Structure formats: C-alpha cells, structure tokens
Amino acid sequence: MAQVLKKQSLKEDLSMRRGCISLGQVRCDDCHRIMPYPERYLAIDEAEGTTVRLCIDCSLKKGYARYKVEKGEQVLTFLEE
C-alpha cells in the first residue's frame, strides 16, 4: 500500500502546471468548451508526455486553481501552496 501511495505522489510531482492565455483555438479537455481569446487556462504536462488543458471553471472544480487576495486584490492562481 505504501508503495502505491509513493508511486502516485511521484507521478504527481512529475507533472508541471502552466497558466496560459488562449488564442481562441484551445479546447478544455474536461468540459470540451472552446476557450476564447484572451481567457486564461491551465496546461498540465503529465509524465506520459501528454498535455491536459483545463478552463478556469474546470480547474477550480478539480482544485488546481484558486482565488487569493494579493495586495488588496482578488487574483486567480494556478500555483500550489
């Protein structure tokens, strides 16, 4: 059981998150909605070499994005805490 958990956490560590801006030709891999320019989205490069693209709504639902207050303003971040 501990080996399975260790493998899962290692897999999560190998994925890289990037906040991107759509040019209008990007489709969310979860809800399949086309994201118009200049909407932000999350690109996750997984260990298998695939890239998953998620719109803001899907990123928030899955816990990859959150809003925080920075310098008195509410901002969206894709960064992990």
pLDDT in tens, the chain (81 residues): 444 444 444 445 567 899 999 999 999 999 999 999 999 999 999 888 899 999 999 999 999 999 999 999 999 998 876
Q: What amino acid is encoded at 34 in this protein?
A: I
Model confidence over 48-64: pLDDT tens digits? 889 999 999 999 999 99
Query: Does the N-terminal peptide bond of residue 38 adopt cis geometry, omega within 30 degrees of 0?
Result: yes
38-41: long-range pairs with CB below 8 Å, 24+? 40/76
